[in-house]
Amino acid sequence: MVSDISRKRLSIGIVGGGIGGVAFAVALSRKPGLDVHLFEAAPRFSEIGAGVSFGPNAVRAIQLLGLERSYRRIADSSPAPYEDVWFEWRRWHDDAYLTASLAPGCGQSSVHRADFLDAIVANLPEGIAHFGKRCIEVRQDADGVEVAFEDGSRHRCDILVGFDGIKSAVRDHVLPPAQYGDLGPYWSGTYAYRGMIPAGQLEAAMAARGADTRLALVPQMYLGPDRHILSFPVKQSELINVVAFITDRSAPTPTLPEGEEWVNAVSQEEMLGVFEGWGAASQAILACIPEPTRWALHELPELPRYHCDRVLLVGDAAHAMVPHQGAGAGQALEDAHVLASLLTDEACTRKNAQQVLTAFEAVRHERTCRVQRTSHEAGDLYEYSAPDIGDDEEKVAFELETRFDWLWNHDPQDDVATARTRLGWEATSLTALA
């Protein structure tokens, strides 16, 4: 599979067809002069998981990517007068209110993952996506990159972007284990029990246990020692997405039992046992999930670099993180906007594409590593294990009121401007998604 790229300014290969990869491909496809191909290992576009939450920064990236209309059609938000609430925070054993984190103008903006991917895919022109393409090898030379797939096909391009997730096949090319050691995913120590509940069923269950039925529809986080539970609406508030976490802090580096799968179906009895003694709202929630799945949450270490010459890692391939700040998908979308803005600029050519990838890494690396680090730290805070805070609920509440501001207030357009300055591009040069 070798494209006729002789008339194109730049050819770009994308490995991975999740939310970030497809959003990136859509952004590239809107500008002439680029030869764009996306390769997905699965036979069709599909997403695993359930609800995904977006902070104000992620919604800003969605807007900049030109996907706001697609997003708004399916996005959920908290009911009035709680539309600015990201989460209300409550004590584990009696549901007592601690505080709320507010995201003015955004609140708990969330979608069902599969619905969001479908909405983005609707914007992707024919001929860009190729399925059944599992990457097995990447090679590059002075003139370009060649990627080989399990089905025997190959593709050559000027640059290759690895949007292929936490188990990235592209990562070993950028960071060869022989040189860098094992930089693959590791277990965070946290299990997450997941389930989806019809909203009406959860309201009735709350009422039956004497809990406030409002807690079914307004995003909630119940905090406790080594455990926490979250709930928020998806699919136009028809369903409530629930995740219940427990973390093993008995060892500095917990290890998953040998041979255990990352995702397993487990019994409701197991899940209820983990949260024995929790309050009425928590018990109502968990009792509505007869067949939970248990996810062993993995993350990546902070990688020393994201690119090698013409090959770049982005999204979860570069900075997979635990979900405690609802930030993983948002960082992938920020990556997509910044990178697309640079590559679609007419100042970018196949001659300077490597310098563009270097500039991208320079403006994104520190931020994404910080989001990884603070996402892990947020889990400690929620589970009464943060240094110098612990189970002091007054300190917990104070920290929760402002800890997300730096994350949410970021504008990826600033990253684009900084990268352009590094590249020496004139301010009047055509920018990508203006």
Three-class SS of 371-394? HHHHHHHHHHHHCCCCCCCCCCHH
Catalytically active residues, by annotation = 194
For residues 46 and 30, what is the distance between their CA atoms, to the nearest angstrom?
A: 23
Q: Which string of b and e fits 26-36 if b means at least 16 CB within 10 Å?
A: bbbbebeebbb
- Would strands 186-198 and 34-40 be described as parallel, antiparallel, or unpaired? unpaired
Report whether 321 contacts 371 (CB < 8 A). yes
For residues 257 and 261, what is the distance between their CA atoms, to the nearest angstrom?
A: 9
Handedness of CA 28, 29, 32, 38 (dihedral sign): positive
Instruction: Report in angstroms the alpha-carbon separations of 6 from 128, 143, 158, 302.
Output: 17, 13, 11, 38
DSSP 243: E
First to last CA, the chain: 33
Helix ranges (DSSP H) in 328-423: 328-343, 353-382, 393-402, 405-408, 412-423
For residues 297 and 185, what is the distance between their CA atoms, to the nearest angstrom?
A: 10
Per the listing, tokens 């999204």 go with: 315
DSSP 216: G
Which string of DSSP letters, residue by residue, matches 51-80? EEEE-HHHHHHHHHTT-HHHHHTT-B-PPT
- Cβ neighbour number for residue 115 with a 10 Å cutoff: 18
Per the listing, tokens 């998953």 go with: 256
- For the record, the structure tokens of 354 come out as 């490597």
Q: CA nearest 218: which of 121, 384, 86? A: 86
Q: Which string of b and e fits 158-181 if b means at least 16 CB within 10 Å?
A: bbbbbbbbbebbbbebbbeeeeee
| Cα diameter, the chain | 69
